[in-house]
Amino acid sequence: MKLYGYWRSSAAYRVRIALNLKKIAYEYIAVDLLKDGGEQHSDDFHQINATELVPVLVDGDMRISQSLNIIDYLDDHYFPPQLTPVAGQDRYTAKEIAQDIAIDIHPLNNLRVQQYLISQEEFTEQDELDWVKHWIMVGFEALEEKLLRSSGAYCVGTQLTVADVCLVPQVYNALRFGVDLSFYPTIERLYHSLNEMSEFKLAAPENQPDAPTKKPPIE
Ligand SMILES: N[C@@H](CCC(=O)N[C@@H](CS)C(=O)NCC(=O)O)C(=O)O
């Protein structure tokens, strides 16, 4: 199995967590979203995914993009653990939270959106950061309310689901943009407890082979 991703891509981060939870070994192929205008726009990658976005999963002759779709594929073929509960309210709550994040919150802070905004004359870099932060906070306000009702040890009661797999990467993004998590105590609690798990730790951006190596501070 091959995963085309980028260390700081939160959509690829979701898939890395799912693969780790399911204990699936995979080859990681880094697509540098910044180098030379972005390798996602190269002809080679365009042939792999015409939308020019990561992640893409290749499993034998199957080629799948869209992180939630990839997680569905993994659930269908590589159970357990089943990340989308099979029935009942929990199934739809888990999907709802995952979609709130992946469909409503994340796209507004995606790289190509930021690049477009910054290219507009009237937008300063600070305006762009404020814009991203604003939309994450709008999303988190509602998410906090939902999680207050639905969560136990995990986003949805006591079962680890696709909602948890989406939450951690989105919080990672929020922290990058300076969102103060103390406004969202349930999100903060879940983020820290999920990050105790080795499957989440291993999937973290800084633990990817394409993450820039940290240099010691110059003394
Ligand atoms: N809905 C897609 C989103 C994929 C996506 O937006 N990927 C970002 C990285 S998180 C990307 O490749 N961005 C490249 C760009 O904006 O040019 C999914 O869930 O897989």
Q: In terms of residue numbers, what domain contains 198?
A: 88-203
Task: Give the CATH number for residue 61.
Answer: 3.40.30.10
Same domain, 104 and 71: no
**Is residue 17, in this structure, part of any structural domain at all?**
yes
Residue 216 falls inside a structural domain: no
The count of domains in the chain is: 2
Indicate the Cα dihedral angle 190, 196, 200, 203, nearest 10°: 130
74 lies in a domain? yes
pLDDT score recorded for residue 95:
98
Tens of pLDDT, residue by residue over 164-178, are 999 999 999 999 999
Question: In this predicted structure, what is the pLDDT of residue 121?
Answer: 86
> Is residue 106 assigned to a domain?
yes
The minimum-distance atom of ligand 1 relative to the CA of 14 is 19
Residue nearest ligand 1's atom 11 by CA: 53
CATH number of the domain residue 143 falls in: 1.20.1050.10
For residues 151 and 191, state if they share a domain.
yes
| CA 184 to centroid of ligand 1, rounded, Å | 25
Amino acid at 85: P
Name the closest-CA residue to atom 9, ligand 1: 9
pLDDT at position 219? 37
* Per-residue confidence (pLDDT) for residue 214, from 0 to 100: 62
Shared domain for 14 and 119, answered yes or no, is no
In a domain, 154, yes or no: yes
- The minimum-distance atom of ligand 1 relative to the CA of 53 is 12
Residues 155 and 100 in one domain: yes
Residues 57 and 147 in one domain: no
Residues of the chain under the 70 pLDDT cut = 214-219
pLDDT attached to residue 159: 96
Give the start-end residues of each E strand in the chain: 2-5, 27-30, 56-59, 62-65
Domain edge (last residue) among 81, 107, 135? 81
Domain assignment present for residue 192? The answer is yes
Q: Which helix (H) or strand (E) segment is 91 a member of?
A: helix 88-99
Cβ-in-10-Å burial (0-12, 13-18, 19+) of 199 comes to middle
Question: Do 107 and 182 have their domain in common?
Answer: yes
